[in-house]
């Protein structure tokens, strides 16, 4: 019985490691010129030049510095199963 439990634990660990590897390998970093459509305390809604909209998580307190209807160069990281997260922002 102990051998069976160890084998199940080993298989479970392998599956967990594969899931973590896949999650980490699907990280995308995007840089774009965007127009800020809406600003909230923890996220911004942006629209790129082709009209695609994206909600991006921002650090606390930074929302007061971002102006709606202004263009910015932003760089954000997007992982599978998570909202995109802001890495940097600069006015155009």
**Residue ranges per domain, the chain?**
28-91
The three-state secondary structure class of 65 is: helix
pLDDT at 1: 66
Core vs surface per residue 17-35: b (16+ CB within 10 A) or e: eeeeeeeeeeeeeeebebb
Q: Please determine, for residue 89, whether its predicted confidence score (pLDDT) is greater than 90.
A: yes
CATH of 28-91, one of 2.40.50.500, 3.40.50.300, 2.40.110.10, 3.30.830.10: 2.40.50.500
Mean pLDDT confidence for 57-86: 93
Mean pLDDT confidence for 61-88: 93
Percent of the chain at pLDDT > 70 equals 98
Q: Please determine, for residue 22, whether its predicted confidence score (pLDDT) is greater than 90.
A: no
Mean pLDDT confidence for 29-50: 96
pLDDT at 63: 93
The three-state secondary structure class of 25 is: helix
């Amino acid at each position: 019985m102990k051998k069976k439990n160890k084998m199940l634990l080993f298989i479970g660990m392998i599956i967990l490691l594969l899931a973590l590897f896949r999650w980490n390998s699907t990280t995308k970093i995007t840089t774009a010129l965007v127009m800020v459509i809406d600003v909230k305390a923890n996220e911004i809604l942006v629209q790129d030049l082709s009209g695609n909209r994206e909600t991006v998580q921002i650090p606390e307190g930074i929302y007061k510095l971002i102006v709606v209807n202004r263009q910015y160069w932003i760089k954000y990281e997007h992982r599978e199963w998570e909202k995109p997260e802001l890495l940097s922002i600069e006015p155009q």
